[in-house]
Structure 1
Amino acid sequence: MRVRDLGVEDARAYRALSTGAFGGREPATGPRPFNPAETAIGIDSASLPGGVAGVIAAGARIRHDRITVGGGVAACGGVAGLAVHPAHRGNGLFGPLLTAVIARCQAEGMAFSMLYPSNPAIYRRFGYQEVARENEVQVPLGDLQRLRPVPGRRLVPVTEETMPRLRSLYRELTAGDNGMLLREGPLFPDGLPGDGWSAVLLEDAEGHDHGYMSWTRAAEYEAVEGLEVHEILGRTRQDRVALLQSLGSWSTVTAHARVRLRTEDPVLDVLPSGRLQAAPGILGIVMMRVIDTAAALEARPAPAGLDGAIRLVVEDSTVPGGTCRAAGTWIVRAHDGAISAQCVAEYDGQEARAGHAAASRPDQGGSSDGAVGEVRLDIHAASLLLAGGRCMADARRLGLLAEGDPTTARFLDALLAGPRPSVLDAF
């Protein structure tokens, strides 16, 4: 079956498929066009037995996002709106469509792919691995009144004029994280988000920005009552205290706030924890897949002082050979704060042209490629580890293939260190 690009003329049929699967209604003015930073692909119903013209049997959108990777930035294909029409479910469309998504992510130069599944198992069969979960806590606002005001800080309302300051601060304060979207246009338009979203900036007496807090105030009749706090980001512990002290002022109108956090959020260190509870409801799962191993590695800087090389082997039997650049063997080097990942076939070719032997030299404690050892990963371990913040022992604990001698494993762990991935955006 043929998977093709969807154009403007397919927008109505695709939106009908998407809203039918995930809910919602199209505006009376007609279906929204595809975002210019998205690639939409699909399978025509008319090409299938019993199909009809003008209907998309299966489709998906691939967002052209960029995400943080331990101080660097990598291209990431966010998979959104993947659906199969009820008339064509059970006819084997999901596999070819998702395989085409992975192939298209490679063609678009993506290092990773990311999605938020309702059924993780079916995506895992295609190499996606859970790397993070949504993290929300319910905070009794009365408890925050015990926090003392922080001298030298004041709050500034976020408006159209001050919104660029917030966006700049977000990128600065999340640059060292793993998995955070950069929130660039046109996927994230300039201006205020709308839909009840509000925020305040935290600045000092000289007007320098130190943090911000954003929220939505839900009405009493809505499904989620109270205050939805989307983000609390501050430069220092005291900045986060100042923002939480401001949050406590809401206790006069509502008892609790639902606060969204990063995976290892420093806000937890200053939240009064005596009556802190996990927010009710089902928390979403974030899955990622390596698309291009070399690009994923080279996107991040090497930790200061780390110098050396290993041979990295990634095995991937989840998609047809050649579908993506995740599988292969690379010489991975860290030197002068940078990471390089060179395909072994290319390296061996260079060695041969230079007249050097490519065989191992055990008597010298290494090999002609300079690697001190080898790490072997399956695609799930590679996706878990290259997303950052996890170690070889974590992968083995999950039953994933992650083989390597202790010295080589420590090198890879150091190379990919950092906080565990966090994703505060859904699509």
Structure 2
Amino acid sequence: MPVRELTTSDAAAYRRLSALAFGGSAGEDPGRPFSPGLIPMGIDSTSLPGGAEGVLAAGAQIREDRVTLAGGTVACGGIGGVAVHPAHRAGGLFRELMTAVLARCTHEGMAFSMLYPANVAIYRALGYQVVTEVGFLRVPLLDLQRLRPVPDRRTVPVTAGSFERVRALYRELTAGDNGMLTREGPLFGTELPAEPWHALLLEDGAGTAHGYVSFTRTGGDDGVGLEVHELLGRSREDRRELLRSLGTWSTVTETLRLRLRVEDPVLDALPGGRARHDPQVMPLVMVRVTDTAAALTARPAPAGLQGALRLEVDDAALPAGTTAAAGAWRVEIADGAVRPVPLPDSGATDGAQDLPAVRLDVHAASLLLIGGRSLADAERLGLGVQADPAARTLLDALLAGPRPAVMDQF
């Protein structure tokens, strides 16, 4: 069952497969080229018994993303559109396809792979680990209307000419996070998102930008008249002023739905306790480490942190050599940088055997290396962790920071 990269000539077959798997149609122009920034992979139906010409037995796409790592960034393969034709299911194609996809992520220099799973169990068997979720909150607009104005702040419309200010604020305000997409091209263009998307920029009297909020006015069929996609501000007061601006919608609708990061700072700016979790499905986010050394190197070390430890990662979920997740390293931390030095085997006699050691299975490594979680968190989940006390303290300090959060679009 050879897995290959798809070309423009395969686009129509892939879109028919996607429509079959997820519903809808292949569109008016199913043969249009794949978008830049995507690596489509697939298996031909003709490679299987009873297969047909012009049909894909399985397919997936790898997004060429980057994510934040507490002040650094690293390449990440976002996986989407994974589908297996109903005529070829239950024959191992899913694992065959995903093994090749993860190998390609590694080949492309991606330290992680990330996805929103419809089925957690099938991806967990491949080494993926749930690391975060996307939350939604319903907020009564009357609560926001009562907020007092913040001095020296005004909201202005976001236009095609000012959208770059929003993009710059997003980069600045999420740079210290773990797991946030950097939203770079070619997957993310510089053009203003299409209506009905709108946004307001918060600035002071001198015109300096302090935050923004993006939203869509909806029909309110489920009681929600405003979908708030994102609210970011430099300070608590800036976030409160943006919330106050949303309160002006109370004359035409009663409730907004606010998309949240994990431990979102906006929660501390809400004025009352009448907000409630929205009953819609809460998307989970799974991550898999594909290159342990690259993940370590990309993360800046906290100021003043120094030391060394031995790190071993076991990856029994995939055939040996599929990714660069497994191995042993002497991890040196000094001068704000992390330097993982590969060790040939567990019996190396270069002094690394005398270092405090941490041994992780691939699920624990995936949870921890994206940042913001501790070894105790991994142990609480029942993941594979063995650690000397000194190594535990050092690795926890290195990987500290906000819990990982992912928000896909503005």
Answer yes or no: same fold by TM over 0.5: yes
Q: 1:91 & 1:304 partners in 2: Cα distance?
A: 51
Counterpart Cα distance in 2 of 1:164 and 1:57: 42
CA distance in 2, matches of 1:238, 1:418: 23
3-state DSSP class of the match of 2:246? helix
Counterpart check, 1:399 vs 2:399: no
Deviations 1:223-280 (A, max 9, x none): 6841110110000111101101101111111111000111011100011241110011
TM-score by length of 2: 0.97
Say which of 372, 378, 388 aligns to 1:389. Answer: 372
Gaps of 5+ in 2: none
Aligned to 1:2: 2
What's 1:364 paired with?
Answer: none
Letter in 2 for 1:14: Y
Distance (whole Å) between structure 1 residues aligned to residue 42 and residue 229 of structure 2: 33
Aligned-pair distance for 1:346? Answer: 9.6
- Give the distance between the partners of 2:376 and 2:194, measured in 1 at CA: 44
- Is 2:66 the partner of 1:66? yes
Q: Give the match for residue 300 of structure 1.
A: 299
Summarize the Cα distance change of 1:50–1:195 in structure 2 as closer, same or farther, 3 Å threshold.
farther
Task: Give per-residue Cα distances to partners, 1:69-92, cap 9 Å, x unaligned.
Answer: 111001000001000011111121
Tell which deviates more after alignment, 272-281 or 64-73. Answer: 272-281
Tell me if structure 2 keeps the 8 A contact 1:38–1:64: yes
TM-score (norm 1): 0.93
Task: Give SS of 2:46's match.
Answer: helix
SS state at 1:322 partner = coil
Contact 1:197/1:216 (8 A) holds in 2: yes
CA displacement at 1:188 relative to structure 2: 1.1
Kindly state the Cα deviation for residue 108 of structure 1 after the two structures are TM-superposed: 0.6
Q: Shift of the alpha carbon at 1:370?
A: 8.9
1:366-409 deviation per Cα after TM superposition (whole angstroms, max 9, x unaligned): x7249630000000000000011000000001000111122210
| Number of the residue aligned with 1:215 | 215
> Which stretch shifts more, 307-316 or 211-220?
211-220
- Hey, what does 1:178 align to over in structure 2? 178
Distance 1:109 1:288, change over 3 A: same
SS of residue paired to 2:113:
strand
**Which one-letter code corresponds to 1:101 in the other structure?**
V
CA distance in 2, matches of 1:99, 1:340: 28
Answer yes or no: is the 8 Å Cα contact 1:309–1:370 preserved in 2: no
Deviations, residues 52-102 of structure 1 (Å, cap 9, x unaligned): 000011000001000001110010000010000111111210010010011
The answer as to whether partners of 2:328 and 2:345 remain within 8 angstroms in 1 is: no
What do the CA deviations read for 1:160-203 (whole angstroms, capped 9, x no partner)?
00001100110100000011111111111221111411001001
Amino acid at match of 1:408: A
- Which residue type is aligned with residue 61 of structure 2? R
Secondary structure (helix, strand or coil) at the match of 2:344 reads helix
Distance between the aligned counterparts of 1:251 and 1:96, measured in 2?
A: 52
Tell me the SS of whatever aligns to 2:397.
helix
- The match for 2:231 is 232
- Distance in 2 between residues matched to 1:337 and 1:227, nearest whole Å: 43
Greater CA deviation, 26-35 or 372-381? 26-35
Q: Residue 132 of structure 1 corresponds to which residue in structure 2?
A: 132
Measure the CA separation in 1 of the matches of 2:319 and 2:110: 18
Equivalence for 2:206? 206
Change (3 A) 1:394 1:220: closer
Amino acid of the structure 1 residue aligned with 2:69: V
Residues in 2 aligned to 1:224 and 1:185: alpha-carbon distance in whole angstroms? 36
* Preserved contact between residue 200 and residue 214 of structure 2 (Cα < 8 Å): yes
Q: How does 1:66-145 map to 2 (within 5 A)?
A: 66-145=66-145
Distance 2:196 2:17 in 1: 28
Contact 2:224 2:257 in 1 (8 A): no
2:8–2:31 contact (8 Å) kept in structure 1: no
Distance in 1 between the 2:124 and 2:334 partners? Answer: 34
Residue aligning to 1:363: none
Which whole-Å CA distance do the structure 1 matches of 2:287 and 2:240 have between them? 33
CA RMSD of aligned residues (A): 1.7
State the AA in 1 paired with 2:357. Answer: E
**SS class of match (1:345):** coil
Mean Cα deviation higher: 270-279 or 44-53: 270-279
Q: Matched residue pairs, number? A: 409
Give the 3-state SS of the residue equivalent to 1:117 in structure 2.
Answer: coil
Determine if the alignment matches structure 1 residue 420 to structure 2 residue 392: no
Residues 1-400 of structure 1: matches in 2 within 5 Å? 1-220=1-220, 225-345=224-344, 359=349, 368-369=351-352, 372-400=355-383
SS in 2 for 1:200: strand
Q: CA deviation at 1:143?
A: 0.6
Q: Deviations over 1:25-53 (max 9, x none)?
A: 33324444211211111000111111100
Q: How far apart are the structure 1 equivalents of 2:224 and 2:145? A: 21
For 2:353 and 2:321, the matched residues in 1 are separated by 28
Distance 1:224 1:73 in 2: 39
**Aligned mates of 1:284, 1:275 — CA distance in 2:** 23
User: Does the 8 Å contact 1:215/1:229 carry over to 2?
Assistant: yes
Aligned-partner Cα distance in 1 for 2:49–2:226: 50
Give the aligned residue type for 1:417: A
Structure 1: gaps spanning 5 or more residues? 349-357, 360-366
CA distance in 2, matches of 1:289, 1:47: 29
